[in-house]
Amino acid sequence: MIVTVAELLSKEDKTLQYWTEVCEKQHNSVFLDAYNQILEVLSPSYDYLPQYLKMLFLYLGAFPPYSDIDTNDLFNRLSAEGFLETIGNQTVNDFIQKPLAELAALYNLVIFKFKPGSWFSKREFRVHSCWQHFCKKEASRIKFLHVVQSYDDDMKDQRRLCAHYNTLFAFKEVYDSIKIDCAFTTRSILCYGPSHQYPVPLHAMDFKLLRILDACKVRFYHIPREILKLVCLKYLALTCDIELPISISKLFYLQFLIIKQYVSIRKRGGQSYMPMEIWNMQELQHIDIFGRDLPTPNSDATLDKLTSLFGVSAKSCTREILKRISNLKALAIQMELKPYDDDGADYNPLSDLGYISKELQNLMGLVFVVINPDMKYECMAPLSMFPSSLSNLTLGGLGCPWKHMNDIGLLLPNIKKLTLQGYAFRGPEWDIESRCFLKLETLVIEDTDLVLWRPQHGSLPRLELLSIRHCYKLRQFNWMRDPSMVQTTIELVECNPLVIPSAKLLRPISLFRVCCYSSF
């Protein structure tokens, strides 16, 4: 790429104006010419891909160049597109991580830049800019996916339309062109451009056969009526602060419902709920609606296909509701107790969460975060709320003493990733008993008053990553590890500098790699 660009530049005028344009304009003709030349070398590698990897690879062309792609979000879109079919108890890793790892390791087509749970990277990957250009061009050629650049694009019979500048869909000329060229073939509209502070009207929303509308980067004051007429929708992602209308239930094929908030404003004494008609949407698999709870149904309705529920509070975790969504595998709860907690002074609103373990016995991932916690309770949430099936647990704001952490370790024999943030637990010392967390691979501790971390001999035998962040009182590690245990990475991010020497002392004993960063 460097040599090809250099050769092209060597033939151009050596003027400051031209070189400035090349530097500042991302899609300069020099780079496009270089990409097109390099395609002749890259094409054979693509031709050798198995068919199922070709589909996945071309779909990555929808994302903007140099952008990070979240694997979980990608899985949801591919599933709604109909590209994935569940076989047995396969997980997201079976569907996405393994094919992506194959693209990276065998074909060098995608770039992984993360270690799951690490501070220095996220659960994301990206495609090299050369391959991104190839994906866009090849996907458009075979009518698989087209990235809209302007109103005069050739969009004839394209099945998926994507915009890296969301305002394109706001122009009537673009809408008219889409309507003429591919009104009956368009199945997906993807808005992957930058977020906008003010609402942007989308004209391209009234295609009756549309299945995917991903417009989280576009802000709406209200959900447009045109969207509620798209009865074939399977995936709907928007940013809107207003309540869901009852007419959302007309989208009876909908599988993924994602409504983000631009601002979060909670009314005093008011509780926000999804409409009761949500229980009529039997195809729902994934609900992500921050700040809105599931209402208690008036009938025997159930959502048997619902496997993930994000953004709700403890109000959605009553026994009456949980037994109607008993197939959940992932649950994210966020509670805000103050400043508008109008219940009695001695009432703990989290005391009824024990029903989670009783009704959700297949739950694998749980996120439970309390905002503005009240530290008057020694243990705000009952420890019995955690089902033994959990493999991924994130806790925040509970304010429990560290001694209860060992109880959780005994209750969760299958836990592999544990994240403790925002005073999930409190106290100066955490002693980990030897029989706890025998399968734990990733441990993240963030924003606590911990001073001494002391795992006993034989504990954490499979720990691969220990990430400690913003723990300003932490002074010492005291860990007697067996040298035969797995190699572990330690990350210290903005911690007390006094802890660094004790962390380094672990290195010759356990072959640790220590990544230290401090702002002190």
- Which residues 6+ apart lie within 8 Å of 274 measured at CB? 244, 289, 292, 293, 294, 295
Q: How confident is the model at residue 487 (pLDDT cuts 50, 70, 90)?
A: confident
Q: What is the pLDDT of residue 479?
A: 81
Spell out the alpha helix ranges (H) of 309-402: 319-322, 355-359
What angle, rounded to 10 degrees, do the helices at 129-141 and 51-59 form? 110
Statement: residue 517 has pLDDT above 60: no
- 47-101: per-residue pLDDT in tens? 888 888 888 889 999 998 888 888 888 888 988 988 876 555 555 556 666 777 7
What would the two tokens of residue 438 be?
Answer: 């025998």
238 and 223 in contact (C-beta within 8 Å)? yes
Statement: residue 400 has pLDDT above 90: no
- 418-452: per-residue pLDDT in tens? 999 988 888 999 999 887 888 999 999 999 999 99
Query: What does the DSSP 8-state code read for residue 331?
Result: E
Q: What is the pLDDT of residue 269?
A: 56
**Mean pLDDT of the residues in the chain:** 82
Look at the block and give the residue holding tokens 């975060």. 369
Q: How confident is the model at residue 7 (pLDDT cuts 50, 70, 90)?
A: confident
Q: How confident is the model at residue 461 (pLDDT cuts 50, 70, 90)?
A: confident
Give the least confident one: 217-226, 308-317, 490-499, 507-516: 507-516
C-alpha distances in Å from residue 2, one per residue of 18, 31, 35: 18, 10, 11
86 vs 297, residue with greater confidence: 297
402 and 423 in contact (C-beta within 8 Å)? no
Q: How confident is the model at residue 102 (pLDDT cuts 50, 70, 90)?
A: confident
pLDDT over 70, % of the chain: 84
Statement: residue 520 has pLDDT above 50: no
Statement: residue 456 has pLDDT above 60: yes
First to last CA, the chain: 41
Q: What is the pLDDT of residue 141?
A: 92
Taking residues 315-325, report their average pLDDT: 91
154 vs 305, residue with greater confidence: 305
Statement: residue 357 has pLDDT above 70: yes
Q: How confident is the model at residue 236 (pLDDT cuts 50, 70, 90)?
A: very high
Q: How many residues does the chain have?
A: 520
Q: What is the pLDDT of residue 378?
A: 61
- CATH 3.80.10.10 correct for 148-262+276-288: yes
- The answer to pTM > 0.75 is yes
CA–CA dist 132, 119 (Å, integer): 27
Could you tell me which of 199, 164, 240, 192 has the C-alpha nearest to residue 77?
A: 192
Locate the domains of the chain by residue range.
2-85+92-129, 148-262+276-288, 290-294+301-338+350-413, 427-520
CA–CA dist 506, 453 (Å, integer): 13
Q: How confident is the model at residue 326 (pLDDT cuts 50, 70, 90)?
A: very high
Q: How confident is the model at residue 484 (pLDDT cuts 50, 70, 90)?
A: low
Statement: residue 308 has pLDDT above 90: yes
3-state secondary structure of 98: helix
- 189-232: per-residue pLDDT in tens? 999 888 877 777 777 667 888 999 998 888 888 888 888 888 99
Statement: residue 375 has pLDDT above 80: no
Q: What is the pLDDT of residue 349?
A: 60
Q: What is the pLDDT of residue 139?
A: 93
Statement: residue 389 has pLDDT above 70: yes
113 vs 427, residue with greater confidence: 427
Q: What is the pLDDT of residue 374?
A: 64
CB atoms within 10 A of CB 496: 16
On the 0-12 / 13-18 / 19+ scale of CB atoms within 10 A, 34 is buried
Q: What is the pLDDT of residue 256?
A: 96
Could you tell me which of 358, 367, 360, 289 has the C-alpha nearest to residue 329?
A: 360
Q: What is the pLDDT of residue 304?
A: 93
3-state secondary structure of 87: coil
3-state secondary structure of 152: coil
- Which residues 6+ apart lie within 8 Å of 20 measured at CB? none
CA–CA dist 445, 425 (Å, integer): 10
